[in-house]
Amino acid sequence: MNPNLNQDLNQAFRQAMRQMAGGVSVITASDGQERTGLTATSVVSVSMDPPELLISVNRTSSSWPVLEKAGRFGINVLSRGQQHVAENFSGKGGLRGAQRYADDDWSQTPEGVWLSRRALAVFACDIEKVIEHRQHALIVGKVTHISVLPGDPPLTYWQGQYGSFAPPATP
């Protein structure tokens, strides 16, 4: 295959994917004293009964070994006012591990899952299944805890920038 064609396809794929607006979540993982996490723009509902969610994690990320060993994780659906949390967990400014939890209000479930008290919704999940595909791990999590704090608009990501969504005003 022509390497330039593959490079062009990869570039076109990146540009096309940037057209998809997504809600921003932070995935948290903790194994004893070590805690970390990552920013994600796609969390997928897999099943309602039992409730299950799917996330995709690059297996070369620093968060993957902790998440894999922990066997559970948190999903924190961020509000517009939590852009700094998304940036912390994306590694912006070189933050790693527990440093990423700075500047937000966190609680821990009895099982050790870290959840933001300011997020629009939080889910604690046990890892049900891991499917390794290329450099990623597709992780199905069985939901064990849910909390919802409605009100604020969600944090969104589009074209490489954070923003927000607000429904149109009703007449």
The reported pLDDT for the residue numbered 97 is 93
The answer to whether the beta carbons of residues 157 and 39 sit under 8 Å apart is no
Write the DSSP symbol of residue 133.
E
Tell me the pLDDT band of 5, cut-offs 50, 70 and 90: low
Q: What would the pLDDT profile of 137-165 be if each residue is shown by its tens digit?
A: 999 999 999 999 987 899 999 999 999 98
Q: Which residues of 112-137 are buried (b: 16+ CB within 10 A; e: fewer)?
A: bbbbbebbbbbbbbbbbeeeeeeebb
Give the pair of three-digit tokens for residue 47: 């099943």
State which of 3-12, 30-39, 111-120 shows the largest mean pLDDT: 111-120
The reported pLDDT for the residue numbered 153 is 93
- Give domain limits for the chain: 23-156
Q: Is 106 or 3 the better-scoring residue by pLDDT?
A: 106
Cα-Cα-Cα-Cα dihedral sign, residues 140, 122, 165, 158: negative
Write the DSSP symbol of residue 64.
H
Residue 59 has φ and ψ, to the nearest 5°, of: -70, -5
On the question of pLDDT at 72 being above 90, the answer is yes
Q: Is 45 or 103 the better-scoring residue by pLDDT?
A: 45
Query: What is the C-alpha separation between 88 and 82, in angstroms, rounded?
Result: 10
The reported pLDDT for the residue numbered 104 is 94
Across 75-85, average pLDDT? 96
What is the rounded end-to-end Cα distance, in angstroms, of the chain? Answer: 57
CATH superfamily of 23-156: Electron Transport, Fmn-binding Protein; Chain A (2.30.110.10)
Query: What is the C-alpha separation between 89 and 95, in angstroms, rounded?
Result: 8
